[in-house]
Amino acid sequence: MLISPELMVKDGLLLPQDLKKFYVGNLGKVNYLEAALVREVLFEKAYRTFVGTQEMHAGFREFYKREAWWLDDFALYMVLREQHENKPWYEWPAPYKQRQAKALGDINRFFQDRINKVKWLQYIFDRQWKQLKALCNNLNIEMFGDIPFYVSYDSCDVWANPEIFKLDASKHMKGIAGVPPDYFNAKGQLWGMPVFRWDVLKKKEYSWWVDRVRKNFELFDIVRLDHFRAFVSFWEVPADEKTAVNGRWRRGPGADIFRVFEQKLGKLAFVAEDLGDVDAAVFALRDEFGLPGMKVLQFAFGDNMTNSDYIPHNYTPNFIVYTGTHDNNTTVGWWLKDTKQNIRWNLKQYVDQPGISQNNIHMVLGKMAYSSVAKTVILPLQDVMGLDETARMNTPASVKLNWLWRLMPGQLLPGFKNQLLKWARLYNRV
């Protein structure tokens, strides 16, 4: 959950001097633990201020009634985690792990104030996010969201809906999600999340997924379906395996779930993340529902460059082209650390520009993306700015040093905006 203390001040819930304590002069000098502790102190102070006034009470009541279908379980789950030293739900005592009615009723009574605080924080976030979204939409800016295919084993979703996940009678995972060996990892990726029981979901008319998608389209205008290929078939690994090598492909829900989405929610602005170990059936599902796919230029210059799906001369319009995604190295880092001689040679031949180096590779691929026929271009800010591998966002199959890069004040210089505007005008994207 992201929530802004600054906007709490704007709402009259915190005083400016509280923010000075939060920032301690310079937030960049505060470590994550210190920042989290100060944040919790401020959240508690803000909630106590709210409880002692009538401001927004009617809006809060309307919110928690409307969102009870997910919020009641989520708030209870968060308080139970807190009461069990943040241990995962599958390590809680049996009455809570198994969701026995008396045990949960007691928690609801004894910790009503703590549960209400969790709900209130979600209310504040919802309020602030929708204000931000309205502001962006009024400026013709669309919010692009992302739905992970799987959810964490230690999540409210699995705790509250164990029947739709592949668990045994003791609620231990039987099948774990991942992908076989691929571009990113020779041992595959073992994600540690339970796979779905699609037979159970189908009997329930995919209601959990329908609710999830509906909620995401309240928050975003466009939603990318991460790991889209798993709707066709997914890689399931036995729970006792240490790598993803010894998994097997299982059949996903296919077109059936998308027909239910359209029936219950109408035509939706999905984007299919159709990367990785995909086959014709994945592309057929994507195209059956007219979903834009993804093209990544860093994948385009191997030995099969001429016939590659990622090389611009093979594109058709209904795609989004990226230099790289959040899972790739930055383009400068890719050039320096990940490219072999054949890839560099192929790229230089393709653009007929021998003088490519770490100083201009991000410009070469950025211009290539803008000049393609793909209807949408997305450049990571790191590639707009020409940053190296130290600014990489995420390394798949690794749990260390991910999602730490931040854009700092003053980094986004006017020249970057001017370059993007030049390409947009040159290639008729305005």
**What residues act catalytically?**
226, 273, 327
Distance CA 322, CA 297 (A): 6
Helices (H), strands (E): how many in the chain?
A: 18, 10
Strands 376-378 and 293-296: unpaired
Strand partners, 146: 224
Span between the terminal Cα atoms of the chain, in Å: 34
According to DSSP, residue 194 is labeled: E
Query: Whose CA is closest to 36, among 105, 86, 91?
Result: 86
Take residue 280 and report the two structure tokens written for it.
């014709």
Distance CA 295, CA 39 (A): 39
Query: Whose CA is closest to 182, among 231, 252, 240, 245?
Result: 245
Cβ 111 vs Cβ 77: under 8 Å: no
* Residue 161 Cα to chain centre, angstroms: 21
Strand partners, 238: 175
Strand partners, 378: 322
Neighbour order of strands in the sheet with 293-296: 293-296, 319-322, 376-378
Can you list the alpha helix ranges (DSSP code H) found in 243-352? 255-265, 280-288, 331-333, 341-351
